Amino acid sequence: MDVSKILASHNAKLDSIKVEKETPLDVDAGFLTVTDPNPIDEESYNSNLEEHLQNLARDGVQTLLASLFSLPTLSSPDGPLAQLPAPKTPLPRAKPLPKPKPLTKWEQFAKAKGIQKKKRDKKVWDEERQEWVNRWGKDGKNKQVEEQWIHEVPANADVDYDPRKVARDERKARTAKNEKQRSANVARAQSSGSREERKQDIERTLASSRISTASMGKFDKKLEGEKKLRGVKRKFQPNETSVDEETKASLALLSKMESDSKKMRRDGPVPEGSVLNVRKAVRFASKGQGGVALGRQAAGSKGKKVGKRK
């Protein structure tokens, strides 16, 4: 039986999927990318651009698929899966490398003394329960003294001595101490710049606090060696202005009052159950004279009305 024709047709099919170029294509199976370093054929590019691009895409995809089928595979319910290798194309970072965090006070001490950090387990063995329990948190080992059913009371303790409360206060104090140390480490890390930068930061904060009062710090108590701020002045409107400026200011005030009245009409009357500021209402009705003056004024007006009736 002559099988030469069958082999020839089979080889022809294999030749159709082979990609042969002067410079081999660079395949990165990890990123599923193919790079063609060959120069562009100017004649085919100018004659038929669409066909030229399709041929380039076909060669790249064919090379990529051939490299994927040569990789080791894993069986899965969906079929064989190719094990992709590690990418070999270096890619630039989107952001710069993060700056190393400054060491805390304990880390500096441990580094100087050569102390190795040991990570503590989240679970500890409880001899009474004969099981593993949490070190912290719910049903934690650190709350064992607070939750035990019997406590030892010192002989010189007060009558209202509560051992559970004492144990809880001690635990809270340790937590507050740790939080204070953490805040100190954060502050130390933020102020790790030069001395001149920290000095300028303090001066900016001091200047901001000085001009936060109504007098812009004019009547505030000055510190020893404190410099005088420059360029910090309050702006006042001049007493005498032109007619146009005065007209604009009056119209702006009237428009503001009109918008406030519209807002009051839109909101409607005061609902029942709302809180009334009696002191403010009395001050407004008496024009700042107080409740006594308002009562006298009301009594005087009542007497006058009675006299008229007679």
Domain-located, residue 7: yes
Query: Do residue 175 and residue 109 come from a single domain?
Result: yes
Does 8 share its domain with 67? yes
**Run of H or E including 90:** none
Asked whether the beta carbons of 63 and 27 are under 8 A apart, the reply is yes
The more confidently predicted of residues 226 and 84 is: 84
Work out how many domains the chain is built from and give that number.
2
Q: Clarify whether residues 109 and 65 are in a common domain.
A: no
In contact, 186 and 102? CB cutoff 8 Å: no
Say what the pLDDT of residue 168 is. 86
pLDDT at 7 over 70: no
- Residue that wins the pLDDT comparison between 239 and 16: 239
Where is average pLDDT lowest: 44-48, 149-153, 256-260? 256-260
On the question of pLDDT at 121 being above 50, the answer is yes
279 within a domain of the structure (yes/no): no
**What are residue 82's DSSP bridge partners?**
73
* 9 Rama class: left (phi>0) / alpha (psi -120 to 50) / beta: alpha
pTM for this one? 0.32
Among 56-60, 113-117, 206-210, where is mean pLDDT lowest? 206-210
Residue 226 lies in a domain: no
Q: By mean pLDDT, which of 13-17, 22-26, 144-148 is the weakest?
A: 13-17
Least confident of 226-230, 265-269, 294-298: 265-269
- Residue 177's pLDDT band (boundaries 50, 70, 90)? very high
Of 243, 245, 212, 241, nearest to 229 by C-alpha is 212
**pLDDT for res 307:** 46
Q: Is the pLDDT reported for residue 221 higher than 60?
A: yes
Do 141 and 76 fall into the same domain?
Answer: no
Bin 188: left if φ > 0, else alpha if -120 < ψ < 50, else beta: alpha
Using the 3D structure, point to which of 175, 190, 205 is the last residue of a domain.
190
The DSSP bridge partners found for residue 81 are 74
> What is the average pLDDT across 51-77?
89
